Amino acid sequence: MANYNRLFDDSYTRVHVNFDEFIAEFYKSFSTSSNDINRLFSNTDMDKQKNMLKKSFEHLLKFHYSKNSTDELVKLAQLHRDMEVTEDMYADWMQSLLDAVRVVDYECNNEIELAWRIVLAPGIEFMKHVDK
- In this predicted model, what pLDDT tens digit does every residue of 60-113 receive, in sequence order? 999 998 988 888 888 888 888 887 888 888 899 999 999 999 999 999 999 999
Separation CA 47–CA 51 (nearest Å): 6
- Taking CA atoms, 115 is separated from 34, 81, 86, in Å, by 25, 26, 23
Strand, helix or coil for residue 42: coil
Q: If you count them, how many residues does the chain have?
A: 132
pLDDT tens for residues 7-28? 999 999 999 999 989 998 998 8
Name the packing angle between helices 4-17 and 19-31 (round to 10°).
Answer: 100
Quickly count: other Cβ atoms within 10 Å of residue 120's Cβ: 20
